[in-house]
């Protein structure tokens, strides 16, 4: 199942021929531990729960008589899996089913769950169908009037919270942008922060999110960094962070991390997806 190596060893940034036959070896796992160590997280004692939710828009295969079939689906990779799954390898893998003959959709589901679980190192689930479209409820902070001049690396010192005012609220921003660590391609997301604790200062939060703009890191790693920075610098009691990234190559990813008291947020696709 691929090489347990660095992103530079993956198919990212390389001219790649799309496969003409099913090939689970296309899947490329990336260990989570190294990036977590950089933000002070012990991979064996995670301070959060969560998952990576992939919306898959371009599933296709052949039935036993050769007739093309199509579907959409949702993949869920647990955050405590040893490896994340690199996105381009996932796209190539899913396209490798295009000429594969299968008895039914359940056979496709079983094979995808088996292959992705082996790659991630933990049980990965798949369901057919996609979450509904909607708007994340909360206060959108994008209209705060502020001067910004830091665009990377992320600067957690910009975060401030008012210890004299404790709240329970959700803040939303469409301005999160980071970049692929290998190709430099932009990754765009709607970020939602649901928390309980000292009131987060809006100007500092918006400046902090803008400081990801020229930064190179995978989607999942950005969300975990945001989670740790908010918990550390804003002294929060409870926190849920989710990023709904826009679609590329027929998939979008929605990493969610929360304190252990949190339940997963409802599955929802924002309009940008």
User: Is 222 annotated as catalytic?
Assistant: no
Choice among 52, 174, 187, 194 that is catalytic: 187
- Residues flagged as binding site for NADPH: 87-88, 248-249
Secondary structure string (H, E, C) spanning the chain: CCCCCCHHHCCCCCCCCCCCCCCHHHCCEEECHHHHHHCCCCCCCCCCEEEEEEEEEEEEEECCCCCEEEEEEEEEEECCCCEEECHHHHHHHHHCCCCCECCCHHHHHHHHHHHHHHHHCCCCEEEECCCCECCCCCEECCCCCCCCCCCCCCCHHHCCEEEEEEEEEEEEEEEEEEECCCCCCEEEEEEEEEEEEEEECHHHHHHHHHCCCCCECCHHHHHHHHHHHHHHHHCCCEEEEEEEECCECCEEEEEEEECCCCCCCCCCECCCC
- Residues flagged as binding site for substrate: 85-87, 219-220
- Residues flagged as binding site: 85-88, 219-220, 248-249
Choice among 180, 194, 222, 252 that is catalytic: 180
Q: Which residues are catalytic?
A: 180, 187
């Amino acid at each position: 199942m691929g090489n347990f190596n660095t992103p530079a060893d993956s198919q990212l940034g390389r001219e790649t021929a799309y496969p003409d036959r099913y090939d689970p070896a296309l899947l490329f796992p990336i260990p989570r531990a190294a990036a977590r160590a950089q933000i002070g997280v012990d991979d064996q004692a995670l301070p959060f729960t969560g998952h990576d939710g992939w919306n898959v828009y371009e599933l296709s295969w052949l039935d036993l008589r050769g007739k093309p079939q199509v579907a959409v689906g949702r993949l869920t990779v647990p955050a405590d899996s040893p490896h994340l799954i690199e996105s381009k390898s996932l796209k190539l893998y899913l396209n490798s089913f295009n000429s594969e003959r299968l008895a039914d959709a359940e056979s496709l589901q079983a094979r995808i769950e088996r292959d992705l679980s082996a790659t991630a190192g933990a049980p990965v689930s798949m369901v057919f169908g996609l979450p509904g479209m909607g708007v994340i409820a909360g206060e959108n902070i994008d209209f705060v009037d502020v001067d910004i001049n830091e665009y990377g690396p992320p600067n957690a010192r910009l975060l401030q919270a008012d210890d004299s005012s404790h709240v329970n609220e959700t803040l939303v921003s469409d301005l999160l942008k980071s970049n692929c660590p290998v190709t430099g391609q932009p990754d765009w997301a709607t970020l939602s922060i649901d928390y309980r604790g000292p009131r987060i200062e809006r100007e500092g939060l918006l400046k902090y999110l803008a400081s990801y703009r020229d930064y190179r890191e995978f989607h999942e790693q950005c969300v975990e960094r945001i989670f740790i920075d908010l918990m550390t610098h804003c002294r929060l009691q409870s926190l849920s962070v989710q990023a709904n990234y826009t679609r590329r190559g027929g998939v979008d990813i929605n990493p969610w991390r929360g304190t252990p008291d949190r339940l997963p947020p409802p599955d929802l696709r924002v309009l940008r997806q």
